[in-house]
Amino acid sequence: MASTGTTSTTGGGHEWWRTAVIYQVYPRSFADANGDGVGDLPGITAHLPELQNLGVDAVWLSPFMTSPQRDAGYDVADYCDVDPLFGTLDDFDRMLEAAHGLGLRVIIDLVPNHTSSDHVWFKDALASSDGSPERGHYWFRDGKGENGDEPPNNWESVFGGPAWTRVTNPDGTPGQWYLHLFDTSQPDLNWTDPWVWEQFRGILRFWLDRGVDGFRIDVAHGMVKADGLPDATPDEAAGSMGGAGGALALEPEISDEPPSLPYWGQEGGHEIFRDWHKVLAEYDGDRALCGEAWVDPPAKLARYVRPDEMQQTFNFSYLETPWQAPALRTVIADSLAAFNGVGAPSTWVLSNHDVVRHATRLGVSGDNPQGHGLGPKSNVTVDAVTGLRRARAATTVMLALPGSAYLFQGEELGLPEVIDLPDSARQDPTWFRTDGERYGRDGCRVPIPWTAAGPSFGFNDTGASWLPQPAIWALLARDAEELDPDSTLALYKLLLAEREGRGLGAGELEWLKGFGDDVVAFRNGGVTVVANLGEASIALPDGEVVVSSEPLTGTDLPTDTAVWLLG
């Protein structure tokens, strides 16, 4: 085997976020202390020891702030309070203290692209006249056409349907339109308004003062819109709403300059992150911003993590890479090159609350665009056994890469997407706004199993669950997997311990050649990582096997299997 060059991704410093494995807690579905069927902050606090025991460095909490929950909390009505569904600010403080006591960092979700329509800012805007400062906090515009009854432009909502809704004036006459890139209940804020900037500085400080270690920035690539809100050209609109990559329209499919869609990846957004960088720098202890920016290619994405902007950004190009060795090698190399170029760590992610869980996704044949979800009538074939096998191998590769990695709750148990949710249980606005054409994201959000026995598999002790849990949860429950040395949980624990012990997060990647096109092979921190994505077995390379994604027999490395070797 020959080696070709080395690539480090951790940059110069030793800040925690350069190498951290960060576990995404989706509060609604993690653990439910009060038994109402929706997870809560006391539930999280109670289960933090399991996360410490798993071996992660930090947790990211999806939104738990005051919200009418029309988009599962990504519709915030008060940025500085906890929704009673999840507990109280005191519960948050207790959770944070407990996490820090266990050595776990905590980052929280900030949703600055839009508020809930229940937010007092929006209510004030509705109650104010056209052209008022209150309306100026959002995007209110007169409609087109003779009576203003056509939307101001042709933008479409990520969740389906038009991105504009018309309001009714106090006297009952039809009024202006407001922009919402997501649900009607999520009006977009106008980031050309200095007042909005000031509010968010205050919100950041509110949580930084409480001691959070950072923020995940929702829809970071959408906050700034092109001047004049121009129409998207027909080609662009089709690409963003219908194409494989852009199905949720979260992905801009931008590969040229300037950005092709007038609401994604606009240059002006970077000014906001520079401002926030300065706010975080006022605080001690190495606080961090991680952007949710669906921007491609990695070279463009890396602009969000230049030294005076955010610290991290999600690497969705990695998540979307098909299970093919050449594609995987390319995205890893491109990511390391791009992020190294700006002195930032690359991040890696395979699952989150918006995509089909990778234990299922990697076993799906047929088209399954991001955000469409899967349901009983989806036109795809799902091979669950292959999916899980590939998922275990994919994670074995990911956790060997230098930089920081994100895990989504339940992937450490090998949870699949729940495909057969009854229509009546579905809650994702995507499902409603597309009249059931797209299933949306509920299938990855089902409350996770802690115990094989007991009501709701230990999610709570009442049996209530906001989405129904499948019977297979009994086999995949944490307590069952704790007893099984070959479980996915055991694999994750071993990977995380070895990654930590060998300092792989801060390591340098050295490509290994000579294994053939269907193999991904590299060295990092003294570990040789070999993943066989081909259809045939290959010879297991020499060396002591430290981790294998599947139990090995003989001297072969079977298909869809990855190993870490020493020597």
C-alpha dihedral (304, 306, 309, 312), degrees to nearest 10: 60
Closer CB to ligand GLC, residue 82 or residue 249?
A: 249
Rounded CA separation 555/411 (Å): 29
The encoded tokens of residue 152 equal: 């101001």
Q: Which residues pair with 335 in a beta bridge?
A: none
Closer CB to ligand GLC, residue 264 or residue 276?
A: 264
Q: Name the minimum Å distance from CB 75 to ligand GLC.
A: 7
Rounded CA separation 345/338 (Å): 10
Q: Which one among 23, 140, 182, 466 touches ligand GLC, defined by CB under 6 A?
A: 182
Q: Name the minimum Å distance from CB 299 to ligand GLC.
A: 22
Closer CB to ligand GLC, residue 347 or residue 488?
A: 347
Three-class DSSP labels, 380-442:
CEECHHHHHHHHHHHHHHHCCCCCEEEEECCHHHCCCCCCCCCHHHCCCHHHHHCCCCCCCCH
Closer CB to ligand GLC, residue 111 or residue 126?
A: 111
- 528 by DSSP, 3-state: which? strand
Q: Name the minimum Å distance from CB 292 to ligand GLC.
A: 6
Residue 431 lies near ligand GLC (rule: CB under 6 A): no
Q: Which one among 33, 111, 331, 521 touches ligand GLC, defined by CB under 6 A?
A: 111
Closer CB to ligand GLC, residue 32 or residue 354?
A: 354
Task: Give the residue at shortest CB distance from ligand GLC.
Answer: 74
Closer CB to ligand GLC, residue 249 or residue 302?
A: 249
Place of tokens 């899980």: 388
Rounded CA separation 395/89 (Å): 35
Closer CB to ligand GLC, residue 236 or residue 354?
A: 354
Contact 196, 190 (CB under 8 A): yes
Q: Which one among 32, 40, 57, 71 touches ligand GLC, defined by CB under 6 A?
A: 71
Closest CA to 531 of 331, 326, 363, 388: 326
Closest CA to 482 of 448, 450, 444: 450
Say what angle helices 194-210 and 89-101 make with each other, to 10 degrees: 60
To the query of whether residue 481 is one of the catalytic residues in this protein, the response is no
Catalytic residue among 75, 134, 218, 428: 218
Q: Name the minimum Å distance from CB 34 to ligand GLC.
A: 24
Q: Are strands 561-566 and 78-82 parallel, antiparallel or unpaired?
A: unpaired
Residue 250 lies near ligand GLC (rule: CB under 6 A): yes
Q: Name the minimum Å distance from CB 163 to ligand GLC.
A: 12
Contacting ligand GLC within 192-211 (CB under 6 A): none
The encoded tokens of residue 8 equal: 């480090």
Closest CA to 328 of 352, 354, 348, 353: 348
The CA distances from residue 204 to 10, 92, 195, 247, in Å, are: 26, 16, 15, 31
Closest CA to 57 of 114, 121, 100, 87: 100
Q: x-or-dash pattern for ligand GLC, window 273-302, by CB under 6 A?
A: -------------------x----------
Q: x-or-dash pattern for ligand GLC, window 477-516, by CB under 6 A?
A: ----------------------------------------
To the query of whether residue 218 is one of the catalytic residues in this protein, the response is yes
Closer CB to ligand GLC, residue 113 or residue 469?
A: 113
Closer CB to ligand GLC, residue 303 or residue 353?
A: 353
Q: Name the minimum Å distance from CB 63 to ligand GLC.
A: 9
The CA distances from residue 191 to 23, 128, 200, in Å, are: 30, 19, 10
Binding-site residue total for ligand GLC (CB under 6 A)? Answer: 10
DSSP code of residue 229: -
Contact 109, 60 (CB under 8 A): yes
Closest CA to 350 of 297, 289, 405, 428: 405
Catalytic residue among 282, 482, 486, 517: 282
Rounded CA separation 111/70 (Å): 14
Contacting ligand GLC within 35-54 (CB under 6 A): none
Q: Name the minimum Å distance from CB 53 to ligand GLC.
A: 27
Rounded CA separation 405/352 (Å): 12
Contacting ligand GLC within 218-247 (CB under 6 A): 218-219
Q: Name the minimum Å distance from CB 71 to ligand GLC.
A: 5
Residue 442 lies near ligand GLC (rule: CB under 6 A): no
Closer CB to ligand GLC, residue 219 or residue 301?
A: 219
Contact 514, 461 (CB under 8 A): no
**In residues, how long is the chain?**
567
Q: Name the minimum Å distance from CB 111 to ligand GLC.
A: 6
Q: Name the minimum Å distance from CB 48 to ligand GLC.
A: 23
Q: Which one among 60, 74, 86, 276 touches ligand GLC, defined by CB under 6 A?
A: 74
Rounded CA separation 344/291 (Å): 13
- Applying CB under 6 A, which residues contact ligand GLC? 71, 74, 111, 182, 218-219, 250, 292, 353-354
Residues labelled as active-site residues:
218, 282
